[in-house]
Structure 1
């Protein structure tokens, strides 16, 4: 983890340890092996040649430990304990709470932790027990179930459209302001494929947080792309044009194959599949 993160502080945060504790563990490992694994610089830790040669072996040991943990967890048949769910910030905010209400009734002894992130959690390294993703996983060690697809469309506040005027054609959109898109330049092709030619100058406000995107759209900062289920839930928002081709969004429920045999994981997995699917 220290090698992957590049610094003790970043690795300590990822592992849930304090930096001094991790520093002592690294120093102890170097002493036990009789080699220097890292070169300390003012900004980062760099692997030495010895560290590079041993890194693959350490990763194999880490994967083996994860597999043992997964296999042991998979044997548990108690509907109690901790379940970690990873979902995008918008999914976690707008779709999970009703499901969790049902779960609280059917399995009140479970402790549910939610990671609201747009980054893909590594299930093999136990960063989550269950993940809700918008793309099919490529890892064959994972168990994935496709849930219902949804659509995303353009939404803007009525206040914003009253101010700038409602577009009469797709070309009119090119004169308006957009919000969202963590890296707008990476999304221009998507808009162009739907007949809307934009530039980065159309995006005065950008964020990788979809929940913040929603709030910016609601407060009249411009037009955003939102899931239809979300956008239509707010009466102050409207679709500025019906001629824009909707964007299809896949939804996948993913867990590790070993964890699918664990009763508490299966209960949560099946409930999510039923509620969202």
Structure 2
């Protein structure tokens, strides 16, 4: 049965509509809260508020997730159109701005946000005190088309035609452990010596195991007894001697409490890309920060 309702006649808060949109696309309040960088109770109140304003139920609970009601499905198409239009307006307005002062958001993974960006942002603020910086911590790729960030630091080249990207270098991912952990392993000297070692797994899909095995390690799932999606948690586990972890060598080599595992082992290499939406690169402020980051991150 088709639901006939003129959604255009209903006035509601865009923040609530965006909360509904991201929740529908992520499938749960917890995932949507992570994507938006807000507390789950706050997000839940926004979705509840939209349902109350419209007088309809938008979601039904299925296990730990949510599924759209027929009304929610119909509304979703309209809200997606609103989101796309709002994004275009915002990007266009920002792109026309020639003011150097103002806000800018930079998206980066946990380790880059915690280790690489603070000294860079400190220098940026000294050079341009009128620019206020927000660091968006996201291990997933922030959606620049939705303005989740103005600039993103990524380890892959974007494919979206509306994004511009500059490769600022490459990074070596190296295995690390504490000296005490290596002593307990008998001071491994060859990949075969790691057959009984424990690693911190960062990838549920098995991509990390596949990547390490491409270096000739011959690991199985039994070698990965610890799983976390947080790089900060992984690194703390490594520093506590719980297992072996892999990290950008520029960060790992600076930690005095750990050493490289099999120093002669070929590292995994990955690119470092600086990404922004094409429309915002005409903004004086965005261009200034983009060029500053490109110079600071260059390897």
Place the TM-score, normalised by the shorter chain, in its bin.
0.7 to 0.9
2:58 is the alignment partner of 1:38: yes
SS in 1 for 2:276: strand
Alignment of 1:10-159 (within 5 A): 14=36, 19-28=44-53, 30=54, 38=58, 40-41=60-61, 46-159=67-180
Shift of 1:73: 1.3
With 125-134 and 213-222 compared, the bigger mean Cα shift is at 213-222
Shift of 1:8: 6.8
- Calculate the TM-score normalised by the size of structure 2: 0.81
Q: Measure, in 1, the Cα distance between the counterparts of 2:60 and 2:189.
A: 61
Shift of 1:163: 2.8
- 8 Å CA contact 1:12–1:22 kept in 2: the answer is no
SS in 1 for 2:225: strand
State the number of aligned residues. 272
- 8 Å CA contact 1:180–1:210 kept in 2: the answer is no
Shift of 1:45: 5.3
Q: Measure, in 1, the Cα distance between the counterparts of 2:251 and 2:233.
A: 13
- 8 Å CA contact 2:60–2:69 kept in 1: the answer is no
Q: Measure, in 2, the Cα distance between the counterparts of 1:19 and 1:216.
A: 33
- Calculate the TM-score normalised by the size of structure 1: 0.87
Q: Measure, in 2, the Cα distance between the counterparts of 1:77 and 1:276.
A: 25
Shift of 1:26: 3.5
Cα 1:5–1:196 change in 2 (3 A) is closer
Q: Measure, in 1, the Cα distance between the counterparts of 2:37 and 2:267.
A: 40
Structure 1 portions without partners, runs of 5+:
none
RMSD over aligned CA atoms reads 2.5
